[in-house]
Chains A and B, each alone.
Chain A
Amino acid sequence: MAGLGKFLVRRALTFIPTLIGVTLIVFIIAYVIPANPVRAWAGGEKASQAAIEMIKKEYHLDQPWYDQYLFLVKGLFTNSLLDPLNQEPVFTNIGNRFIVTFQLALFAFFFVVLIGLPLGIISALKRNSATDMVLRIIALIFISTPIYVIAYLFIWLFFIHWNATTLAGIPPNPPHQITHVPVVDDILTLNWSNLVQQVKRFWLPGFTLGIAAAGVLMRFTRNSFLEAYSRDSTLFLKAKGVPKSRLYRHVLKNALVPVITILALQFGGLLAGTPITETVFNLPGIGRYALQAIMYLDFPALIGVTFLYAIVFVTANLVADILYAIIDPRVRF
């Protein structure tokens, strides 16, 4: 296991330059902003010159670029960057909304695994048959359909026709917060009525968000299974006369190794893919926060969200790598 520890340290060290790079890019985005947003923050056309000067000073906008960069980095890492619209630290604002996004991604992930894995395995088991052909085309359609189209189709079907979901508001948080994710807390505290409300609100956005990822997972599982099936070990098992069900169990075990790592990546992707879903389904998550920030020229908020997304994404990559290293020792060297 020494190899694993060394690998983890080495892999974690690459995290640092990436993080610095991320702050650099975020700073460039902030620096590129042409329209001076200070006047808008100070209250529009009628803002007094004194107020504008004060805000400029507060955000170091009158300083040279390296000073602005240091101010930004300090703000991002100590959560002292204030959202000019409500004077709260940016990450405090984001924190409340991140729970919604996280829960949405959780629901989506559930559907991804529920749809993608079994269909991918069926497709591989019945390879080159009519079933396989149909499933492959379904996967391609899943991948090709944008969220903003399929979302309206689903709203029409499930909300307007069958009324199987709610589309407004957010169900209350459970009284006892353990993990701070409402669905998980509801299950842990056996708060069934609240759980039903949460599921009713979140299942359709999650399903919509997960469709494309489910298509990707289907294709990936199929290829992974076929790759594992074509190995010499399979030939050996066949020659030995192992029954088909046991043979497939062996193949499946090998095939799932890369699938598990791709699942970690997909969870990161789902978290990052929420802006459109949140807009369509009116969920107050961080994707919507970013879009609102753009609308109100609230660039500290935009920077904070972008930074957070990058961190989440990089962490997902890291987790995928670590999972892979744990499952497959060859990667560590």
Chain B
Amino acid sequence: MPEEDYETREEYEMSILDRISDGLIDGFASLISHFKKDWKKRNQSRIKEWKLMAYAINRSPPTLLGLFIVLVYIFIGIFGPYLAPWPYDFFPVNYNYSTQLAPPGSTYFLNVTELQNGYIIHYTTYIHYPLGSDTYGRDILSILLAGARTALVLDIFIILIGPTIGIILGLISGYYGGKVDETIMRITDMFLAFPGLILAIALSAVLPGRIQNFLNAHAWAQTLVLKLFALHPRDVNNLGKLLAVFVALVIVWWPGYARVTRGSTLTEKENLYVEAARAIGLPTRTILFRHILPNIIGPILVMITMDFGGIILTEAGLSFLGLGAVPPIPDWGNLINQGSQQFPQAWWLVAFPGLVIVTVVLGWNLLGDGLRDILDPRTRRSLEFKLKKKSRGGETNA
């Protein structure tokens, strides 16, 4: 078969999802070209590779499911506090406490007495608990929605800081070798000697006081944290415990990345292209971050994706143990902590937050699992081959 003939027949069999992902990637590329001239032209092969990755995702239902769950989680994490039917710290004050531990689907009529414009007014309203209420009478659905923000903010910031520190230290350690390597790796070993959960427990037990002092001294930090977590200013004294978990998990989460990155850097730096980059006198910073890092980032990305779920698990575990977020700060693990005192009568306090945690963590794990296959160039190439073969039709196969 002549070469041109083969080329003209090279076409992918595309589904609707493929077209959507193509559109998204093209749009993204055009957006970057807007700021960086000729970016699209110079990065054609990269864009093609991205499209191929998207095709691979589109052909793997578990990965799609994971992606869907993760997107919903991020959406609710951003908008959850505003979607919630009630504020996270609202509970009706009444005299017979009937709204506390209300079962799912129950509705309560409340006689409200309020002072408005100098008049005392009485009226009747109702509160509906689709997923039941907690020990204070707060709506669980509202706490779950608002708690997504707590989880997401912790998740993103821990991932932004912890693995970044780890990756940078790993790159430096692997690239320079010698004494630098030895020092960094011994420190990493010290931290890796502790089981993650134990170190996190110990740290989040001792840190809150210090952090609270810092927050009380710095008003800007207070405002920033309150805005990030979408909390009411009256909860400012509970932030210390919440941030202690954050600091503890950052400390726990970097060493693993340092070790993995160092390992891949060690093998990657032996390649000729690194030698060439050094020979033409590129600064070390450029070699590390523009040349070595993109080539070793694949497995690290998978690790990061899985760790998004791992952080949710650990964070909720700490608040389950009574460390970390305390009421009224909305938190999934804390609901289960309340439910543990009331089990099995108030099963909804364990069941619904538990279901949410399992779903979200499963979503991240499915996505990570899919990414592992997709980031592997061999899988991508085989997919490309398969797609082409289909479109070539019967006569060329024969």
Task: Determine which of B201, B209, B313, B361 lies in contact with A275 in the assembled complex, contact meaning CB atoms within 8 Å.
Answer: B201
What are 24 A-B interface contacts by the 8 Å CB criterion?
A: A18-B189, A18-B193, A22-B193, A32-B210, A140-B362, A141-B358, A141-B362, A144-B313, A144-B365, A145-B358, A147-B317, A148-B336, A148-B354, A149-B354, A152-B339, A152-B354, A156-B343, A273-B195, A276-B321, A290-B198, A294-B323, A299-B206, A306-B202, A309-B194
Query: Chain A's nearest CB lies how many Å from the CB of B130?
Result: 20
Q: Is B62 an interface residue (CB 8 A)?
A: yes
Task: Bits for A138-166, please: 1 = Cβ < 8 Å to B, else 0.
Answer: 00110111111100110110001000000
Question: With contacts A275-B201, A276-B321 known, what are 14 further pairs, Cβ within 8 A?
Answer: A18-B190, A25-B199, A30-B206, A33-B209, A144-B362, A145-B361, A148-B316, A148-B336, A152-B347, A152-B354, A155-B343, A156-B344, A273-B197, A276-B317
Write the residues of chain B forming the contact surface with A, with a CB cutoff of 8 angstroms. Answer: 62, 186-187, 189-191, 193-195, 197-199, 201-203, 205-207, 209-210, 213, 309, 313, 316-317, 320-323, 333, 336, 339-340, 343-344, 347, 350, 354, 357-358, 361-362, 365-366, 369
Chain A neighbourhood of B357, CB < 8 A: 146, 149
Chain B neighbourhood of A141, CB < 8 A: 358, 362
Q: Which of B187, B203, B205, B320 has the most CB of A within 10 A?
A: B205
The dominant DSSP class at the A interface is helix
Query: Chain B's nearest CB lies how many Å from the CB of A16?
Result: 11
Chain B neighbourhood of A148, CB < 8 A: 316-317, 320, 333, 336, 340, 354
A302-B194 Cα distance, complex, nearest whole Å: 13
From known contacts A144-B361, A146-B313, infer whether A290 and B201 are also in contact, taking CB-CB under 8 Å.
yes
Q: Is A207 an interface residue (CB 8 A)?
A: no
- Asked if B343 and A152 make an inter-chain contact with CB atoms under 8 angstroms apart, the answer reads yes
A140-B191 Cα distance, complex, nearest whole Å: 27
Write the residues of chain A forming the contact surface with B, with a CB cutoff of 8 angstroms. Answer: 14, 17-18, 21-22, 24-25, 29-30, 32-35, 137, 140-141, 143-149, 152-153, 155-156, 160, 268-269, 272-273, 275-276, 279-280, 290-291, 294-295, 299, 302, 305-306, 309-310, 313-314
A276-B198 Cα distance, complex, nearest whole Å: 11
A295-B321 Cα distance, complex, nearest whole Å: 11
Chain B neighbourhood of A29, CB < 8 A: 202-203, 206
- Asked if B194 and A34 make an inter-chain contact with CB atoms under 8 angstroms apart, the answer reads no
Chain A neighbourhood of B209, CB < 8 A: 33-35
